[in-house]
């Protein structure tokens, strides 16, 4: 299948955008009858709607490819805290440890009150992290405050 | 109403929209050729007398013809490239072109997913790789189900735009190359 057959090539941008929104909604499995009816009405309203929906469904289905190639995917999680020198219960902190989002020296610097070795991994794929450097400085400050709160919550468990 | 009257009405109702779709895919001259070809197919289908829906039909037919033309163009230009590469002193392959040959469409998709902003990517991975439901993702990340949905549609949009951009870049590189040769 050629690449032109699953990107809605030639279809106006706003129609592709609508198709994407429908796909995300239908994927939620929490579609009301009213929404379903609206979807079918939209689908039938214009041949381009059907084309856009079909092709982007293909894109959506194809993106499951990441299940087979997980070694190629840049991780965006795992910053586990364990006890110094022991394998204590790891506290996965999801959402905070985005790859490339925090500067390399960030975790140990901010966790001054606990041992730096508490920080186990900031799992960054070096090949890809470069692309985030521009966004880094503007985004890591809010995360710093989140990190401090999370660490505060985690401390009772650590000790 | 006879078939000719019906046909001319059908053409005047649809040609503007069809042509604008085709002109997003092909140069004007070719787009018009494809349009004529598609209407001819509708006419032939009508004469068969089997019931069909002309409106979706004509869009699909036009699109298929346009896509096969595009594919043909690609094959022709790849052929030109390979001829150039055979000529002495031209042994250096184009790295991007090789990259696109070796890494297939899956690789392009993986690159697209890797280029997503972190939170968007995480939601995408939780959904597509961990196969978590929207509700589960919302609980894990402490966000609303609607936000999960928005991240997913944003992810899809960015992936599409990424791949489209790569494709355009690749085409430009190739046409630049054949242009200078």
Q: To probe the interface with A, which of B23, B70, B160, B170 has the most A CB atoms within 10 Å? A: B160
- Three-state secondary structure along A29-79? CCCCHHHHHHHHHHHHHCHHHHHHHHHHHHHHHHHHHHHCCHHHCCCCCCC
Domain B1-85 is found in CATH 1.10.1740.10: yes
* pLDDT tops 80 at residue A130: no
A-chain residues within 8 Å CB-CB of B156? 20, 23-24, 56, 59-60, 63
Q: Is A119 helix (H, G, I), strand (E, B) or coil?
A: strand
Of A3, A10, A72, the CB nearest to B21: A10
Asked if B24 and A128 come within 8 Å (Cβ–Cβ), the reply is: no
Calculate how close chain B gets to A105, using CA atoms only, in Å.
19
Torsion sign (Cα): A99, A102, A105, A111: negative
Which is nearest to B20 in space by CA: A38, A21, A13, A60?
A: A13
Q: pLDDT tens digits, residue range B145-163?
A: 999 999 999 999 999 999 9
The DSSP string of B35-64 is HHHHHHHHHHHHHHT----HHHHHHHHHHH
Mean pLDDT for chain A? 68
Whether the Cβ atoms of residue A127 and residue B111 lie closer than 8 Å to each other = no
Calculate how close chain A gets to B62, using CA atoms only, in Å.
11
Give residue A159's pLDDT band: very low, low, confident or very high (50, 70, 90).
low
Apex B123 CA angle, A72 and B115, nearest 5:
45
> What is the rounded distance in angstroms from the CA atom of residue A141 to the CA atom of residue A149?
13
Lowest mean pLDDT across A20-29, A83-92, B18-27: A83-92
- Three-state secondary structure along B91-121? CCCCHHHHHHHHCCHHHHHHHHHHCCCHHHH
Lowest mean pLDDT across A20-24, B99-103, B125-129: B99-103
Neighbours of A79 (CB within 10 A): 22
Give residue A158's pLDDT band: very low, low, confident or very high (50, 70, 90).
low
Cα B156 from chain centroid (whole Å): 14
Looking at chain B, the domain(s) classified CATH 1.10.1740.10 span 1-85
Asked if B128 and A8 come within 8 Å (Cβ–Cβ), the reply is: no
Q: In this complex, is the C-beta atom of B104 within 8 Å of any C-beta atom belonging to chain A?
A: no
Tokens of A91: 């506290």
Give residue A82's pLDDT band: very low, low, confident or very high (50, 70, 90).
very low
* pLDDT tops 60 at residue A78: no
Q: In this complex, is the C-beta atom of B124 within 8 Å of any C-beta atom belonging to chain A?
A: yes
Looking at chain B, the domain(s) classified CATH 1.10.10.10 span 94-181
A-chain residues within 8 Å CB-CB of B64? none
Calculate how close chain B gets to A11, using CA atoms only, in Å.
6
| Burial of residue B55, with CB atoms counted within 10 A of its CB: 0-12 exposed, 13-18 middle, 19 or more buried | middle
Rounded alpha-carbon distances, angstroms, from residue A144 to A5, A79, A106, A110, B70: 43, 14, 8, 8, 50
Q: In this complex, is the C-beta atom of B19 within 8 Å of any C-beta atom belonging to chain A?
A: no
Neighbours of B2 (CB within 10 A): 6
Q: In this complex, is the C-beta atom of B158 within 8 Å of any C-beta atom belonging to chain A?
A: no
Q: What are phi and psi of A54, to 5 degrees?
A: -60, -45
B-chain residues within 8 Å CB-CB of A56? 156, 160
Instruction: Give the pLDDT score at A3.
Output: 78
Which is nearest to A128 in space by CA: A73, A49, A81?
A: A73
Q: pLDDT tens digits, residue range A9-35?
A: 899 999 999 999 999 999 998 899 999
Mean pLDDT for chain B? 85
Instruction: Give the pLDDT score at B94.
Output: 56
Apex B125 CA angle, A71 and A54, nearest 5:
110
For residue A130, the 8-state DSSP code is G
Among the four given CATH numbers 3.40.50.300, 3.40.50.150, 3.90.470.10, 1.10.10.10, the one describing domain B94-181:
1.10.10.10
Q: On the CB side of A95, how many CA atoms lie within 13 Å of its CA?
A: 13
For residue A81, the 8-state DSSP code is B
Instruction: Give the pLDDT score at B42.
Output: 95
- pTM > 0.90: no
A-chain residues within 8 Å CB-CB of B140? 94-95
* pLDDT tops 90 at residue A41: yes
């Amino acid at each position: 299948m050629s690449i032109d057959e699953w990107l809605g090539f030639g279809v106006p941008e706003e129609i592709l955008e609508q198709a994407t929104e429908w796909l995300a909604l239908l994927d939620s499995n929490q579609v009301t009858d009213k929404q379903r009816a609206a979807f079918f009405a939209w689908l039938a309203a214009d041949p381009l709607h059907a084309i856009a929906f079909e092709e982007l469904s293909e894109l959506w289905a194809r993106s499951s490819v990441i299940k087979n190639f997980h070694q190629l995917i840049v991780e965006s999680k795992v910053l586990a805290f364990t006890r110094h020198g022991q394998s204590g219960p790891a506290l996965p902190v999801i959402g905070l440890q985005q790859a490339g989002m925090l500067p390399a020296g960030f975790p140990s610097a901010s966790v001054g009150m606990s041992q730096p070795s508490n920080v186990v991994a900031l799992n960054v794929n070096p090949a890809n992290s470069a692309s985030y450097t521009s966004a880094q400085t503007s985004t890591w400050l809010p995360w710093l405050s989140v990190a401090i709160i999370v660490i505060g919550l985690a401390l009772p468990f650590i000790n | 109403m006879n078939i000719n009257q019906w046909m001319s009405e059908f053409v005047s109702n649809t040609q503007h929209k069809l042509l604008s779709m085709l002109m997003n895919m092909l140069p004007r001259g070719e787009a018009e050729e494809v349009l004529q070809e598609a209407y001819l197919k509708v006419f032939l289908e009508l004469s068969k007398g089997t019931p069909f829906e002309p409106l979706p039909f004509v869009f699909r037919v036009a699109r298929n013809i346009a896509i096969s033309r595009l594919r043909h163009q690609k094959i022709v230009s790849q052929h030109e490239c390979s001829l150039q590469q055979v000529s002495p002193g031209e042994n250096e392959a184009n790295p991007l072109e090789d990259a696109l040959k070796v890494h297939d469409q899956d690789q392009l998709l993986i690159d697209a997913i890797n280029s997503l902003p972190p939170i968007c990517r995480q939601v995408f991975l939780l959904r597509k790789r961990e196969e978590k439901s929207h509700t589960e993702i919302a609980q894990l990340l402490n966000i609303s189900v609607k936000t999960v949905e928005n991240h997913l549609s944003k992810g899809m949009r960015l992936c599409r735009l990424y791949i489209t951009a790569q494709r355009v870049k690749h085409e430009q590189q190739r046409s630049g190359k054949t242009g200078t040769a």
